[in-house]
Amino acid sequence: MSLFQITDLAGLHHHLEAAMQLEHATIPPYLTALYSIRPGSNTEAFDIIRAVAVEEMLHLTLVANLLNAVGGTPDLTTAGFVATYPAMLPDGEEDFAVDCQKFSPEAIETFLRIERPADLNHRQQGGKTVTRQKVAGAVTAGHTGAATEEHFFSIGEFYKAIEDGLDRLYADIGDALFSGDPARQIGPEYYYSGGGGLIEVTDMASAKAALDLIAEQGEGVTDTIFDEDGEIAHYYRFQQLVLGRYYQQGDARDAPTGGPVPVDWSAVYPIKTNARLDDFPMGSDLRNAAESFNRTYATFLDRLTRAFRGAPEQFIPAVGDMFHIKELFYRIMRQPIGDASDLHGAPTFEIDRSTEKTA
Q: Quick one: 48 or 286, whose CB is closer to another protein? A: 286
- The 3-state secondary structure of the chain, one letter per residue: CCCCCCCCHHHHHHHHHHHHHHHHHHHHHHHHHHHHECCCCCHHHHHHHHHHHHHHHHHHHHHHHHHHHCCCCCCCCCCCCCCCCCEECCCCCCCCCECCCCCCHHHHHHHHHHCCCCCHHHHHHCCCCCCCCCCCCECCCCCCCCCCCCCCCCHHHHHHHHHHHHHHHHHHHHHHHCCCCHHHCCCHHHCCCCCCCCCCCCCHHHHHHHHHHHHHHHHCCCCCCECCCCCECHHHHHHHHHHCECCCCCCECCECCCCECCCCCCCECCECCCCCHHHCCCCCHHHHHHHHHHHHHHHHHHHHHHHHCCCHHHHHHHHHHHHHHHHHHHHHHCCECCCCCCCECCCCCCHHHCCCCCC
* Site for another protein contains 285 (CB under 8 A): yes
Q: Quick one: 103 or 246, whose CB is closer to another protein? A: 103
CB of 268 to another protein, least distance (A): 9
**Which of residues 168, 319, 352, 353 is near another protein by CB under 8 A?**
319
Which among 23, 46, 24 has a CA at the least distance from the CA of 262? 46
CB of 355 to another protein, least distance (A): 21
* Site for another protein contains 317 (CB under 8 A): yes
Q: Quick one: 14 or 102, whose CB is closer to another protein? A: 102
**Which of residues 5, 13, 38, 170 is near another protein by CB under 8 A?**
38
**Which of residues 205, 316, 356, 358 is near another protein by CB under 8 A?**
316
Q: Quick one: 78 or 292, whose CB is closer to another protein? A: 292
The residues near 259 (Cβ < 8 Å, ≥ 6 apart) are: 245, 246
Q: Quick one: 133 or 266, whose CB is closer to another protein? A: 266
Q: Residue 271: what are its φ and ψ, rounded to 5°?
A: -80, 155
Q: Quick one: 258 or 336, whose CB is closer to another protein? A: 336
**Which of residues 120, 204, 209, 289 is near another protein by CB under 8 A?**
289
* Site for another protein contains 327 (CB under 8 A): yes
* Site for another protein contains 330 (CB under 8 A): yes
Could you tell me which stretch among 82-90, 105-113, 141-149, 328-336 binds another protein (CB under 8 A)?
328-336
223-282 positions binding another protein, by CB under 8 A: 266-267, 270
Q: Quick one: 151 or 331, whose CB is closer to another protein? A: 331
At what angle are helices 105-114 and 234-243 packed, to 10 degrees? 150
Q: Quick one: 231 or 285, whose CB is closer to another protein? A: 285
- How many residues line the site for another protein (CB under 8 A)? 24
CB of 39 to another protein, least distance (A): 6
193-212 positions binding another protein, by CB under 8 A: none
* Site for another protein contains 47 (CB under 8 A): no
* Site for another protein contains 286 (CB under 8 A): yes
Binding site for another protein (CB under 8 A): 38-40, 266-267, 270, 285-286, 288-289, 316-317, 319-320, 322-324, 326-327, 330-331, 334-336
